[in-house]
A and B are shown apart, each in its own frame.
Chain A
Amino acid sequence: MLNVREILKTFNLGTINQKIALNKLSLELFPNDFVTVIGSNGAGKSTLLNAIAGNFFVDSGKIAIENADITRLPAHKRADMISRVFQDPLSGTAASMTIEENLIMAYRRGKTRRLRPAIGTKERDLFRVKLEKLGLGLENRLTHRVSLLSGGQRQALTLLMATLQKPKLLLLDEHTAALDPKTAEKVLELTCNVTEQEHLTTLMITHNLDHALTFGNRTIMMHEGRVILDIKGTERNNMTISNLLEMFEKASGAHMNTDRMILA
């Protein structure tokens, strides 16, 4: 499904701040995989997602989706295959535009934008049905500006936008980290529902080790731009948080930022 082969990305090459963010990282995702990604700050988790989404080109290596090489494809041309939810609830929606306008833009993800009226009755009805499922009462506020919504509502809307047009790959970059615990649970629940119903292949970054082991079917741990742990099946089922921390210390020879990992 997704095939990442030995990608290398160095930031600030040749300066004193030179940093290898992705160190010949390889990763393969299979159809319907829901992979949770953990790792300390600066491990390269977000950089990996940015590389897959095409925010920058990798220095070397190859990225392919369903055997199509996308390594040199700019971000906007990958949009028909990949959709994404960011950590910051503000970055996934256009605040000055209405809920229905945001939804229609997502509905046309990866398609050519034409000179025709954007929203019709058919689309509006579809949006109402989809918004009703969120259970936030947004179905009656189609023409409200998104800037009027709370962070949790905006993130739920962003998640709906990301899955409105089924993507081949869904990238979630700590999408619940900026929300209060109750809203975060709600958004996570929505995430699980939609990935199951639509059989989405998903890559989710999280700082919550409990979530990392309970959600999805596979967990990878990153450190210094590499995957240092990749578990699934019974091995994953038998894994505990303390085991995970132990394995991290063994594999990396370093102490993980445990406070944040446990408290998150």
Chain B
Amino acid sequence: MFSQIALGTMEQGLMYAIMVLGVYLTYRILDYADLSVDGSFTLGAATATSMIVGGTDPWLATGMAFIAGTLAGLFTGILHTKFKITPLLSGILTMTALYSINLRVMGRANISLLGSRTVFTDFAKFPFMEEYGVFVLCLISVVCLGAVIYFFLQTELGLALRATGDNELMIRSLGVNTDLMKILGLSLSNGLVAFAGSYVAQKLQFADASMGIGMIIAGLASVIIGEVLIGTSSIGRAIFAVICGGVIYRAIIAVVLQLGLEATDLKLITAFIVIIALVSPNIRRSLSSLLKGIQGKEAQ
């Protein structure tokens, strides 16, 4: 029983970690809080499931989900850079538009994949993969994508992307088109998020028009949890941190559910986790200065 839940949590955590990698690219690397994530997660799920139901190979459908996500990011990026709409609003506009698009893609509010071929049923056919297939495939995917992002961020293009988030004026004066960098970052990010959405839908064998709601907050929570617990002293460490953050976040949710809270309370809990994570550095600072004050008095 317990090991079943633990395995399920790990599988879910690794799937969501792919989404967290995407959020990390925009939120930390580009310093851009991109709300399109809520829409593009569902877009990935919708694209993959409707294609699989239509008879497409699930691996190809997953790839198409990634591409659909990049297009969503491209749209947000163009809204922001070409039409000078603020980052938050650009994301909200894309998210809203995607809600209708997702319904169009699916043709109805939800699609069931019960009995269909998915990447997971395919992978389970490999030797020894019957029980742990989902876990192994998710692990391989996260490690590969994490490594690709790690190496990408060390390339000339990757450096330009990081500098765009750090000091836009400076990197533009060095000849980089920062608008293009933002569009690239947003596309990649939303591609990863949609990819994660397609995995989750295939695992649940189910896609729903509202499955992406609150995804950005879950992503932010995971990024922050990972950074606080593991640290960000280098790019490699930060990537490892956000992947772990995604898994830990799911573990926290699983524990909270086991404690008897309703699934409907999840969003509230998530919001609280983010609030605590955002506020804790301030509290820690004021606590430590308070402690110093007390120690100072004792010394006197």
Residues of A that sit less than 8 Å from B by CB: 53, 75-77, 79-80, 83-84, 86, 91-97, 101, 104-106, 108-111, 113-119, 161
Contacts and interface: CB of A to CB of B under 8 A. Distances in A.
B290 interface: no
B260 interface: no
29 contacts: A75-B172, A75-B173, A76-B172, A79-B176, A83-B173, A84-B173, A91-B167, A91-B170, A92-B170, A93-B167, A93-B170, A94-B166, A94-B170, A95-B166, A97-B162, A97-B163, A104-B156, A106-B174, A109-B175, A110-B175, A113-B160, A114-B156, A114-B157, A117-B151, A117-B154, A118-B154, A118-B155, A118-B159, A161-B174
Nearest to A77: B175
Contact of A91 (B156, B163, B169): B169
B112 interface: no
Interface of B: 151-152, 154-160, 162-163, 166-167, 169-178
A86 B175 CA distance: 16
A118 B163 CA distance: 13
Contacts of B162: 94, 96-97, 101
B122 to A, nearest CB: 30
Contacts of B156: 104, 108, 113-116, 118
Contacts of B152: 115
Contact of B163 (A53, A76, A86, A94): A94
A97 B172 contact: no
Contact of B176 (A96, A104, A113, A119): A113
A105 B163 CA distance: 9
A86 B174 CA distance: 13
Contacts of B174: 79, 105-106, 108-110, 161
Contacts of A83: 173
Residue among B154, B155, B159 with most chain A CB within 10 A? B159
